[in-house]
Amino acid sequence: MDPLSTALKVAATGLTAQSERLRIVSENLANAQSTGQTPGSDPYRRKTISFAAQLDRPSGTSFVEVAAIGHDRSDFPIEYQPGNEAANDAGYVKMPNVNVLIEMADMREANRSYEADLQVIKQARELISMTIDLLRSQQ
């Protein structure tokens, strides 16, 4: 396959990976306050995502793919909320280990990388049409 179509394909895998990442970020943000249902139960656990380079042997370039969606094993912060249904005997509730600032930073980074991938797709298309233009408008 010609390198320019490969470039398009690789950038497309980048788009898929970054949008998957954005989905994880939105899940984490949406559940930033999701506590458990029963007294003393665990709340929502923050999800993590990691990428891996995948060699495409016919073209020799590296695609990107989602390697694993994992869980953040860090401790849950504890808040004093006696009225909450998930509060234990002493009135403390385990809150999700989601840090909104970290999620926002992650979102920004995913955004930037997505934009860069889009730029590559745009440019590869331009290069292809420049080549096709060689056939055009010549007597």
Partner 1 sequence: MQVNLFDLATKQAQWLSVRQSAIAGNIANVNTPGYHALEVEPFAKVLDGNRVAMQATQPNHLVGGAGAEAVAVRSREEQGAAVLPSGNSVVLENELIDAGDVRRSFELNTAIVKVFNRMTMLASKG
Query: Does position 103 bind partner 1 by CB under 8 A?
Result: no
Cα 132 to Cα 49: distance, rounded to the nearest angstrom: 40
Query: Does position 54 bind partner 1 by CB under 8 A?
Result: yes
State how beta strands 47-56 and 78-80 pair.
unpaired
Among 53, 78, 102, 105, binds partner 1 (CB under 8 A): 53
* Shortest separation between residue 74's beta carbon and partner 1, angstroms: 18
Of how many residues is the chain composed? Answer: 139
Q: What's the angle, vertex CA 29, arms to CA 23 and CA 34, rounded to 5?
A: 120
Tokens describing residue 115: 């934009």
Query: Does position 51 bind partner 1 by CB under 8 A?
Result: yes
Query: Does position 42 bind partner 1 by CB under 8 A?
Result: no
Query: Does position 107 bind partner 1 by CB under 8 A?
Result: no
Residues 6+ apart with CB under 8 A from 91: 80, 81, 82
| Residue 42 CA to its chain's centroid (Å) | 24
* Shortest separation between residue 103's beta carbon and partner 1, angstroms: 15
SS3 state at 93: strand
Query: Does position 50 bind partner 1 by CB under 8 A?
Result: yes
Cα 78 to Cα 108: distance, rounded to the nearest angstrom: 28
Stretch of 2-10, 27-35, 79-87, 97-105 lying at the interface with partner 1 (CB under 8 A): 2-10
Residues of this chain that interact with partner 1 (CB under 8 A) are 1-4, 6-8, 10-11, 13-14, 17-18, 21, 50-55, 57-64, 109-110, 112-113, 116-117, 119-120, 123-124, 126-127, 130-131, 133-134, 138-139
